[in-house]
Chain A
Amino acid sequence: MRWLSKTLHWAAEHPCRAVGVASGAAAVGIPIGALLFAWSGAYSVAASRGHWHVVELFLRFGMENSVRVRAPDHPPADLDDPDMIRLGAAHFHGGCAFCHGAPGTRPNPVVQAMLPSPPDLQDQARVWSDGELFWIVRNGLKYAGMPAWPAQSRDDEVWAVVAFTRKLPQLDAAAYERLALGVADVRPGDARELATSESDPDGVGACARCHGAEGSGPASTLVPLLHGQPREWLLRSLRDYATGARQSGIMQPLAAALTDDAAQKLAAYYARLAPPASPAPVAGEPDIEAGARLASEGVPQAAIPACLNCHGPDRSPQFPRLAGLSARYIATQLHAWKNGKEGASATHAIMAPIARRLDDRQIAQAAAFFASQPAGGGAAP
């Protein structure tokens, strides 16, 4: 042990040098040690074994603080709006309920075996503020199975999910089904259908949950009316959603799950449907008149072309008809472009620069005008 006392004496006489040597040894030794530890496989990464309690506390501590620091402070005012809640509910059923469960359904054992396992949002969502929930849904969580929102430029959709998550604790199984399934009629199916999966007992893929079907329109004003839209336009939209060329965290997963044959059939189905009778427009008169001028003349000085040149009733079937769409939907889409929605689709390339030249007032006017027009008809340019 003489070497030890000699070393300590040396360190006492040359304290700075000793600190330097010790730091250097640590800087080299700790990474090598960590590498050897990982290489040895001594640490078990089994999800089945769970974390050591200390590790779990530390990870949770880090995660909560990181979310708290990054979450936005000012959520939008309309989180209790029924249209937002219905949109969030419909997406929740297809995109979230598989892991987080839903009122009235048993938790999935495969999902429960994840580490960390997805919390039951009916109890656990209350620990987070609205802004924190938004941040988690939008960005996902590292080292957990929580995915990020597929369309990073669509914050508006994430807020709809937050709005529903706040409503979720108040829902029982029946109320949840009403919100999540809308007019989609999901029958239990007979044994052979169930056994061969001819029927989809959850109704997850049913377009009608949001978009309605014969005789009924969209469940929420944030959802577009598909009835009577040109078939080519509907097919183009589904294909663009499926490839991610068009950004929507709600539509992308649903469209990606469709085969091209299914997409063709759905596009033809909705193109043939007669639009349901639309309710009276909500906006006041001046907006509709100004919107009519904007739609038929545009604003040439600002390089804004007249909307009806592309969106009128007798125009190319590659473009959607705007007559009869809800003002809220039109305004949301135009604002999404202004707020930075990106895309690689051919129609995004045309519309994004035009939408970005509109100011908020013009957006409200155009939306009011088109909402006041009867669906399936409307003014020609």
Chain B
Amino acid sequence: MIQSVLDPGGPEAARILQLAVTLFIGAAVIFGLVCVAMIAAIYGPRRMRETLASRRFVIGAGIFFPVVTLSALLVYGLWVMRASIAEARAPADVRIEVSGEQWWWRVAYVTREGTRIEEANELRVPVGRGVEINLSSPDVIHSFWIPALGGKIDMIPGRTNVMRVKAEREGVYRGQCAEYCGGPHALMAFDVIALEAGAFEAWLAAAKNAPSRPEAAASGRDLFNASGCGACHAIRGTEAAGRIGPDLSRVGGRRTIAAGTLPTNAQNIARFISDAQHVKPGNLMPPFRIFSDEERIAISEFLMSLR
């Protein structure tokens, strides 16, 4: 499953699941014992009831037992998490900066040479290598959570939090915003695509450049520029350089649009252009009802061609 804490895809999530299961089973056992003791205390024979009410029993079972159990749990938890700390100290192979905006994800891959590759709403990571994600936000508190890969960390305005992620197998992992950040918070998700290391490097190298697009999409491109879309959206290699909304340089190759709201295809893109407020009410993109159907299709096909 692509978004489940019960199906870990990386070591961090596996550790968290291990702790969680231990906690859950242990708690269930203790709960069972407490229930039995409660029933015995009400319905049991007199001697049993007296024993249960005695000071020795209360102090033993109510103070000693929890202290011992919880201390053991603390030690066990720290022992399990030491691996996370070690990983966090090791240098990361890949660095990604994610800024939580209302209500989408501004993603930037920072290469070893220091160049930034702007993307949005989707992360690509290499399998088996540690990825450092720098989390920040320019507006309100968001929270970055990929359930199958690890825990959640808040993105707090004015502060950069660092998270380590490693995916152990190829596939798609879905994440979402885990801190209420305004109306469309419920429609603020993202995909993490784990690629085999070579495929990841190839993708990163290609992403630096402008997307290749066939000339058939020229009318859509001209409409895109003339209608002011470039005021908010950027497409590498064109005059569109807006930073207010998501970077669209490779939008045609993403699995979803509008931060996980709709699957990427021409009809959904067309629908979002003219009806953004019905698809994702409250988001910052106004509806563009000025286009004829042919114009909308042309722009959508242009955007789909950006891969």
Question: A-side interface residues toward B, CB under 8 Å?
Answer: 236, 298, 300-301, 303-306, 309-310, 314-316, 318-319, 346-347, 349-350, 352-354, 381
Contact call B228/A300, Cβ cutoff below 8 A: no
The 5 closest A-B pairs by CB, nearest first: A310-B228, A305-B231, A309-B231, A346-B289, A309-B228
What's the Cα separation between A236 and B288 when bound, in Å? 14
Q: Which of B272-301 contact A (CB under 8 A)?
A: 277, 284, 286-290
A222 to B287, CA, bound (A): 29
**Which of B138, B227, B277, B289 is in CB contact (< 8 Å) with A301?**
B138
Cα A352 to Cα B277 with chains together (Å): 14
- Shortest Cβ distance from residue A209 to the other chain B in the assembled complex, whole angstroms: 29
Residues of B within 8 A of A352 (CB): 286
Whether A300 pairs with B244 at a CB distance below 8 angstroms is yes
Q: Is the interface of B mostly helix, strand, loop or mixed?
A: loop
Docked-complex contact B286 and A298, CB < 8 angstroms: no
B284 → chain A closest CB, angstroms: 6
The residue in chain B whose Cβ has the minimal distance to the Cβ of A298 is B231
Is B290 within 8 A of A346, CB to CB?
Answer: yes
A236 shortest CB reach to chain B, Å: 8
Alpha-carbon distance A185/B230, docked complex (angstroms): 45
* Residues on the B chain within 8 Å of A349, using CB: 277, 286-287, 289
B33 at the interface (CB under 8 A from A): no
Given contact pairs A305-B242, A310-B231, enumerate 20 new A-B contacts (beta carbons under 8 Å): A236-B290, A298-B231, A298-B244, A304-B244, A305-B228, A306-B242, A309-B230, A310-B228, A314-B226, A315-B226, A315-B227, A316-B226, A316-B227, A318-B290, A346-B289, A346-B290, A350-B286, A350-B287, A353-B284, A354-B286
B242 to chain A, nearest CB (A): 6
Contacts of B288 in A (CB 8 A): 346, 350
Closest Cβ neighbor of A306 among chain B residues: B231
Q: Can you list 25 A-B pairs with a CB-CB distance of less than 8 A?
A: A300-B242, A301-B138, A303-B244, A305-B232, A309-B228, A309-B230, A309-B231, A309-B242, A310-B227, A310-B228, A314-B226, A315-B226, A315-B228, A316-B227, A316-B228, A316-B290, A318-B290, A319-B228, A346-B289, A349-B277, A349-B287, A350-B286, A353-B284, A353-B286, A354-B286
Residues of A within 8 A of B244 (CB): 298, 300, 303-305
